[in-house]
Amino acid sequence: MNIKSLLSARVIAGAMLLALVGVAQVATGREVGVPLPKPAVDAPVAPGTREDTAVFAGGCFWGVEAVFRHVKGVHAAVSGYAGGSKPSPSYEEVSTGSTGHAESVSVRYDPSVVSYGELLQIFMSVAHNPTELNRQGPDHGTQYRSAIFYRTPEQQKAAQAYIAQLNATHAFPAPVVTEVTPLTRFYPAEDYHQDYLAQHPYQPYIVYNDAPKLDDLKKLYPDRYQR
């Protein structure tokens, strides 16, 4: 299946859902953001540090990227691929599920404005559903798995502690299945995937699956939202 076909399948699925159910019913029936407590353990910041990077995977990277682009303190969010063994993979290759890569987002941020723990909170709360195994919404396969790719031991400790915290307090009706694994390499995705939500705000897939995540961010964390 070529790239155009893969993209078309995702778009058509969203269009069919909207046509069958109706926009109003879809909007009320989708999974909503979940308010979560702040992490009890956060990654410490070295004095004078003004920039750091976090990498997350939570289903289709379009929505995850869009959420982090609108978080205060985030300098850049880039869609890409991580977690697999194939060098410089293409979207078409990753979409087969055979590369080991997951659609991921690299978040460059100012830890003096937003901490790594706060990014974890937003990732778990509004960017995706961390209780879904190898899927998110209409997308299925290991390339859509929930994962946190840590760059330092401090990030690893914070991520593992937060997952344990959420499971211990039963923040979700099901256990968190998010992987916590070391980042070996992040490969930026093709240009047409970058800032996809802003470029295609009326695409059915975006309207149903991703745009509501921004609404959840504004509603649940208004002090962290930026235009």
Any catalytic annotation for residue 53? no
In the prediction, which pLDDT does 11 show? 53
At 3, the pLDDT band (50, 70, 90 cuts) reads: very low
Report, at the CATH architecture level, how domain 3-224 is classified.
2-Layer Sandwich (3.30)
What's CA 191's distance to the chain center, in Å? 18
Residues 132, 138 contacting (CB under 8 angstroms):
no
DSSP string, 109-158: E-TTTS-HHHHHHHIIIII--TT-SSEETTEESGGG-EEEEESSHHHHHH
63 burial type by CB count under 10 A (0-12 exposed, 13-18 middle, 19+ buried): buried
Across the chain, what does the average pLDDT equal? Answer: 90
The residue from 54, 55, 57, 60 that is catalytic is 60
Please tell me which of 3-7, 29-33, 176-180 the model is most confident about, judged by mean pLDDT.
Answer: 176-180
Q: What is the residue extent of each domain of the chain? A: 3-224
Q: What is the pLDDT of residues 208-225, one digit of tens each?
A: 999 999 999 999 999 999
Single pTM value for the model = 0.88
Query: Cα angle at 99 between 137 and 205, to 5 degrees?
Result: 25
Which of 165, 182, 181, 171 minimizes the C-alpha distance to 131?
A: 171
pLDDT at 132 over 70: yes
Helix axes 211-220, 61-69, angle to 10 degrees: 40
Secondary structure letter of residue 34 according to DSSP: -
In the prediction, which pLDDT does 89 show? 98
> How many Å apart are CA 120 and CA 15, to the nearest integer?
31
